[in-house]
Structure 1
Amino acid sequence: MLLRKCFELMDRCVNWFLAILMAAMVVIIAAQVWYRFVLNDPLSWSEEAGRYLFVWISFVGAAAGVRYQIHLGIDLMDKLLPPDAYRVVVIVVNLLIQIFLLVIIYWGFKILGIVQFQESPSMHLSMRYPYMAVPVGSILMLINSLRVTVAAIRNETLDKEVRV
């Protein structure tokens, strides 16, 4: 019960984080359009900030996609296979995904040590922060993949309703 509450809190935090990142990206890109085409004085940092926000949205959004099982291949297999065979496929696929994510997490942290002293060209931000999206998003994907695997082993389904 406590673990379920922790996972629900994690899901809500991830959903809010994604909503905030999306809102920030929309505001920054809209400001860039306004400054460039209306005021004829483009912002020097907005394109870079939008790019880094998009990277974070992609990796954290992929973690949410794993959690809510909304990837195309999984949905297709669910419709093509009988329930027991589908369960086995979900378990095997998630185990392969988890191995891949462990490699990504390992190398993601290794790369952070290399890029931490580099600065972004416009914002003069340590490149550690944009690159941190890789291991953070992969850790969240790994946790959610483990949740899906455990639910499949127990022959349960995770709630697919998105809550904010």
Structure 2
Amino acid sequence: MLAIVSHFILWIAGAGLVAMTAFIGFQVWGRFVMNDTPTWTETSSILLMGWFIFLGAAVGIREGNHLSFDVLLYVLPQRVVKICHSISDFIVIAFGAGMIGYGGQLAATTWATTIPNLGFSGAVSFFSLIFGGVLMILFSIERLLRRAVGLHTARFGDEAEEE
């Protein structure tokens, strides 16, 4: 089930990247061809960038695509390596919780403000941080549970495919 969610999230992040590129292209075209810069494109692009960065980071955690310093892990027994991987997942859970907590505080603080050119609440700027934190926690818990029952969890550089 989470594989489907992850795949869907990755498509959303990719669509955000394409939309941001189109908005910036439209901004350049408006500025240099039409001599009338659209005011909403830069702010929208920054908001979209937050979304595709945090969504992509969460998917990267699920798929084990983040870089890590694994030199020590090559000489440790496999059981200790799994413990180290689990510690890493717990750290990611703590980081995701921080994203949710501090992102929530930032959203609450900026709720009454308005983003110029868009008319949205300033809190919208931090929704991607909060949602990304939720996904990071969810995917890290999945990795911990898979490891606990003996299933493979992908790591950066692994050749094995997910079952």
TM-score, shorter chain, exceeding 0.5: yes
Instruction: Name the residue aligned to 2:54.
Output: 59
Aligned in 2, Cα 1:26/1:161: closer, same or farther, shift over 3 Å?
farther
- The structure whose residues are more often helix, as a share, is 1
Deviation by residue 1:71-115 (Cα, 9 ceiling, x = unmatched): 1116x4597344333211110111122123223212322322221
Equivalent AA in structure 1 for residue 79 of structure 2: D
Within-5 A mapping of 1:13-32: 13-32=8-27
% identical aligned pairs: 22
Looking at structure 1, the residues matched to 60 and 35 of structure 2 have their Cα atoms a distance apart, in angstroms, of 39
Structure 2 distance, partners of 1:41, 1:110, is 37
- Give yes or no for the alignment of 1:49 onto 2:44: yes
- The CA distance in 2 between the partners of 1:37 and 1:69, in whole Å, is 42
Q: Match for 1:123: what amino acid?
A: L
Matches for 1:4-153 after TM superposition, within 5 Å: 6-73=1-68, 76-77=70-71, 80-82=74-76, 83-153=78-148
Amino acid at match of 1:127: G
How much has 1:29 moved relative to structure 2? 0.9
Task: Sort the Cα spacing of 1:45 and 1:78 in 2 relative to 1 into closer, same or farther, 3 A.
Answer: farther
* Cα RMSD (Å): 2.3
Mean alpha-carbon deviation: is it higher for 17-26 or for 96-105? 96-105
Q: Distance in 2 between matches of 1:146 and 1:124?
A: 37
- Structure 2 runs not aligned, ≥5 long: 155-159
TM-score of the aligned structures, taking structure 2 as reference length: 0.84
2:150 alignment partner, one of 155, 160, 163: 155
